[in-house]
Structure 1
Amino acid sequence: MNYFIGVDVGTTSTKAVLYDEHTNVIKRFSQSYPLFRHPNGMAEQDPTTIVNAVEKVIGDAAQQINFFKERLLAVAFSSANQSLILLDQAFRPQSRLITWADTRARHAANQLKRSALGRQLYVNTGTPIHPMSPLTKLLWLKEADPELLSQAAYIGDIKSYLFCRFFGTFKVDISIASCTGMMNINSGDWDPTALNLVGIRQEQLPEIVNGTYQATGLLPKAQARMGIPADTPFIYGAFDGALSNLGVGALKPDTVAITIGTSAAVRVITDHPVIDPHRRLFCYAVDNHSWVVGGPLNSGGDVYQWAVKHLVTPSAVANEQVDPYTLASRVISDVPAGAHGLLFLPFLGGERAPLWDANARGSFFGLNNLHTRADMLRAVMEGINMNIATVFKAVCDLVGQPKSITATGGFARSRVWRQMLADVLNCPVDIPESFESGCLGAVTMAMRSLNLVNSYQVVQNFIGEEDTYRPDPATVAIYQKYLPLFQQVEGLLSPAYSTIAQLQENGAK
């Protein structure tokens, strides 16, 4: 038997899935790590901890393989995008890893966003001007800590750093490079205008390679820790969102993929770059021949997790003898659509699409003395889904109405959430059997790299069974009344976000 290992390097954990050569899942592995946060917007990780986690899950998966009789064909990578790490001349970290969730560049981003240069950079790179992007993070560092930036010999992301530790080479796949705000979407190379803005040279950045690129020749220390043959090909893969589309077979403009995990995203793959004239959406390269258009949302499972933590009482959990999330789903099921006239704007940590405003804050609207915790729980779940619906509409405006929606992520374990998504979007939603679409997408890219398949379309044979949730007409009619109000309130509150964010920032000092 031959095997693949798909690795997904995430914001709070790294997952590995061991597949056989027919992409049947043999076993899953996971290693969590902290995300260091501060009220000033900091969201960082320790790069050494992530290296250890990746080596651990690959090593755990490798222990399932009998290398005397069996072969590991490849290890393929998915990772979170828009991370930033400064390295010295010997490629040692000069900083912790700054993640996509870090918003300290918000003032620099706001200034750039309002300028003609910001508009031009969006057209050049397909990356919205927002503190998530390495471009604005570097712009912020240029002002906040110029000495640290000037001392950096190299500038990378978590995946280029991992491969550097494993192989001693400094490269980045085109999809991750495309998410930096510094790669020209048309040329596929680093954009001179962007580099000039932040004051760095192309030589400081990794070489851009296609996602099917193979790295071989594991360095002895990494090889020993993972316990796999040194000549095992490591496939660069792509960022998690692009691979999630690939992993669920959403490979054409008529199929939209929605992911709801810690954060959320709506994405569609096209065969040419598509730039949104309203600057609501991103356009990133997947490989040399395809691009992904869509919008990422900060507000996903983490917002729901916050709501469950604060609105589901420990005593109720103890009485029902179930976990808090199961109890929350039961409670929400008993509340009618619309939560008795209560709306929730889920912007607890700022928002990317569709607002691109790191100062955005959450709020309940319509709250009165008849509302209960159950109503609030339902409103939170509905608010997350309504926010997804605004991005979904923007994608449809740009590429047309899809024939189907495929949704994945941790939310898929909740039947209440699945049905609500179909009702809010007024479109059937397919839920694949496999939730780890990023790992499957990475392995499919590895199979293409090894010339085991001729096209990514083969992934359709790997997905397995799907559950389809169809919208309920009566519930759809209710949400069609609430969605315009959700967007109206969002627009009314937007001018006040910067003021409340500044007050919160001052109060945290």
Structure 2
Amino acid sequence: MKYVIGVDLGTSSVKVLLIDQKGSVIREVSKSYPLIQEKSGYSEQDPEEWVEKTTEALAELASNFQGDISDIEGISFSGQMHGLVILDQERQLLRNAILWNDTRTTEQCRQIDEIVGKEKLLEITKNAALEGFTLPKILWVKQYEPDIFNKIHVFMLPKDYLRFRMTGQIHMDYSDAAGTLLLDIAKKEWSKDICEWLGIDPSICPPLVESSDFVGTITKEFAEKTGLSEKTKVFAGGADNACGAIGAGILSPGKTLCSIGTSGVVLSYEETKDRDFKGKVHYFNHGKENAYYTMGVTLAAGYSLSWFKEIVADDESFNDFLSGIEEVPAGSNGLLFTPYIVGERTPYPDANIRGSFIGIDSKHTRAHFVRAVIEGITFSLNESMEIFREAGKEINMIVSIGGGAKNETWLQIQADIFNAKIVKLSSEQGPGMGAAMLAAYGCGWFDSLDACAEEFLDVVKVYEPIPENVAVYRELFAIYREVYKNTKRLSEKLGPFRA
């Protein structure tokens, strides 16, 4: 039996999966690392933490492997998007990575809009300038850390740095490059025009490759540290959302994904490079060659739930924390939550908005609050679903992965709020599975990613919308959509009081 490894480099932890040729998860190892948040809106990490924890996870996986280590043929990656990692001429780190959920770059987004122009930016990159993207971070470094900016030899994204440390080779795949705001999405090349207009040397952009491309083998030093074979083939990998789509089988028209991790994503497959959503949702290159996807994002999806758990029940397991929500009726007896606790992205690209509980009543229990948080996260994701539907996309079946797929009540809530069938997969590994599938395809196990998905992925349950709940949630969703416009000004006024 042969094996591959999928590495999922997330925001709070790295997860490595050992997968066999049947798609079975043989072993899973996870290691966590901290965020660095020095100011409100700042979010950074030390890239060396990614390397150290991934090395530990792979070493643990290899030490428990029963068989010839050379039977682990390939490894590939899924990585958190948009983060900025910068190296100097000697390929040394110049500063901590600035992450996707860092919102310090509102000023730089305005600069991009003024210099490039909103329409021109959409024409080239298919996306609007938002704080989370990589380009505004580069401009922030240029403006506020000019000494560091002048030393930049190459920039890359988180998983690309990890892969560089494993192979000594520097590349970026199209799916991650699409999230930088520097890629010409249709032409699949770095935009020299955007670089020139904004005073960025195009030479700092790394070579571009497909997600399934072979990019080298692991170094002797890394092999010794982990116990893996030096012959282990390394494949480029993709953005976490692109890999999540692959790992959920979103590889053909008509398929939609709901992924709830730290952030939440609604993602739909696109065949062509010319769909126009006018910047309301993101439009990125897929991890599948010559394919694309549209995507809406809730910045604090699972993070809203983990935040609430931390402040009210930090010592409980998630299962205990969620117990009782199934007894609370749809709509949480008039309690609404908006998950804007770190700002929002879709459909409100607003770094200043903050979350709310609306309708608190003395009869509400903890279970009401927990269910309201879950419903609020799902309402936010439904904003993206509505944009897709308004653009003519038909959404009747959705594959759900991530934290939202681990709880039966939450899966039913998704079916009711989205008014669509929700599919649960047997192996709910999302981006990590997608990374492993890229390695399996790269190793030649299958002729296509579609064929790999047919072998690796199985549906175990389908959740049907409950008509009476659909009706309740339709009314509540209309009220939910009023909360943003009615709290936007208040959030801005409260901004100076946030530490």
Is the TM value for this pair above 0.5? yes
Q: What percent identity do the matched residue pairs reach?
A: 27
- Is 1:447 aligned to residue 440 of structure 2? yes
Tell me, which stretches of 5 or more residues in structure 1 are unaligned?
Answer: 315-322
Residue 68 of structure 1 deviates from its aligned partner by 4.3
Q: Render the CA deviation track for 1:401-457: whole Å, top value 9, x for unaligned.
A: 124100000222211111111111111101111121212212222232233212221
SS at match of 1:340: helix
2:345 alignment partner, one of 331, 335, 352: 352
Give the Cα–Cα distance (whole angstroms) in 2 for the partners of residues 53 and 248 of structure 1. 26
1:340 Cα shift?
1.8
Q: Structure 1's 89 and 417: CA in aligned 2 closer, same or farther, altered over 3 A?
A: same
Cα–Cα, structure 1 residues 215 and 226, in superposed 2: closer, same or farther, change >3 Å? farther
Offset, 1:328: 3.3
Given the alignment, which residue of 400, 403, 415 partners 1:422? 415
Offset from partner CA, 1:341-373 (integer Å, 9 cap, x none): 121111000111111111110012223444443
Structure 1 residue 270: Cα displacement: 1.2
Amino acid at match of 1:341: G
Q: Match of 1:318?
A: none
Matched residue type, 1:25: V
Does the CA-based 8 Å contact 1:429-1:469 persist in structure 2?
yes
Which of 333, 339, 362 is the aligned partner of 1:340? 333
For residue 160 of structure 1, report the CA deviation from its aligned partner. 2.2
Match of 1:482 among 469, 476, 483: 476
Q: Is the 8 A contact 1:135 1:198 kept in 2?
A: no
> Contact 2:76/2:435 (CA < 8 Å) preserved in 1?
yes
Change (3 A) 1:221 1:489: same
TM-superposed deviation, 1:399: 5.2
Shift of residue 114, structure 1, vs aligned partner = 7.0
| Counterpart Cα distance in 1 of 2:470 and 2:272 | 34
What letter matches 1:242 in structure 2? Answer: A
2:457 counterpart (463, 470, 476): 463
1:59-98 Cα distance to aligned partner (Å, 9 max, x none): 2222344564861110111111111012111111010111
Matched residue, 2:284: 284
Q: Distance in 2 between matches of 1:263 and 1:163?
A: 23
Task: Report the CA distance between 1:128 and its aligned residue.
Answer: 2.9
| CA distance, structure 2, for counterparts of residue 494 and residue 59 of structure 1 | 48
Task: Decide which of 354, 364, 388 is 2:381's aligned counterpart.
Answer: 388
Match in the other structure for 1:492: 486
Matched residue, 2:300: 299
Match of 1:480, as an amino acid?
Answer: R
Amino acid in structure 1 at the alignment position of 2:340: F
Aligned to 2:94: 94
Say whether 1:158 aligns with 2:158.
Answer: yes
Q: Taking structure 2 as the reference length, what is the TM-score of the superposition? A: 0.94
**SS of match in other structure, 2:143:** helix
The change in CA–CA distance for 1:118 and 1:69 in structure 2 (over 3 A counts) is closer
Contact 1:423 1:476 in 2 (8 A): yes
8 Å CA contact 2:70, 2:232 repeated in 1: no
Offset from partner CA, 1:356-392 (integer Å, 9 cap, x none): 1111100122234444433322221111111111111
Q: Does residue 40 of structure 2 align to residue 40 of structure 1? A: yes
Distance 2:342 2:119 in 1: 24
Contact 1:253–1:399 (Cα < 8 Å) also in 2: no
Alignment map for 1:27-176 (pairs within 5 Å): 27-65=27-65, 68=68, 71-110=71-110, 112-113=112-113, 117-176=117-176
Q: Which range moved further: 362-371 or 476-485? A: 362-371
Paired with 1:178 and 1:468, the residues of 2 have a C-alpha distance of 32
Question: CA contact under 8 A between 1:260 and 1:300: conserved in structure 2?
Answer: yes
Cα gap change, 1:59 to 1:451, in 2 (>3 Å): same
Q: Report if aligned partners of 1:329, 1:416 keep a CA contact under 8 Å in 2.
A: no
After superposition, the Cα gap between the structure-2 partners of 1:114 and 1:409, relative to the gap in structure 1 and judged at 3 Å, is farther
RMSD over aligned Cα atoms: 2.0
Per-residue deviation, 1:302: 1.1
CA contact (8 A) 1:127 1:180 kept: no
1:437 aligns with 2:430: yes
**C-alpha deviations, 1:282-309, integer Å up to 9, x for none?**
1111244101111121121110112223
Match of 1:190 in 2: 190
Q: Quick one: which amino acid aligns to residue 434 of structure 1?
A: S
**Alignment-mate amino acid for residue 332 of structure 1:** I
Which residue does 1:317 correspond to in 2?
none
Counterpart residue number, 1:401: 394
**Aligned with 1:353: secondary structure?**
coil
2:25 is aligned to 25
Mapped partners of 1:448, 1:29: distance in 2: 22
Structure 2 portions without partners, runs of 5+: none
| Partner Cα distance (1:68, 1:81) in 2 | 34
Pairing of 1:300-379 with structure 2 (within 5 A): 300-312=301-313, 323-379=316-372
Letter in structure 2 aligned against 1:461: E
Aligned pair 1:254/2:254, yes or no?
yes
Counterpart of 1:156, as a letter, is M
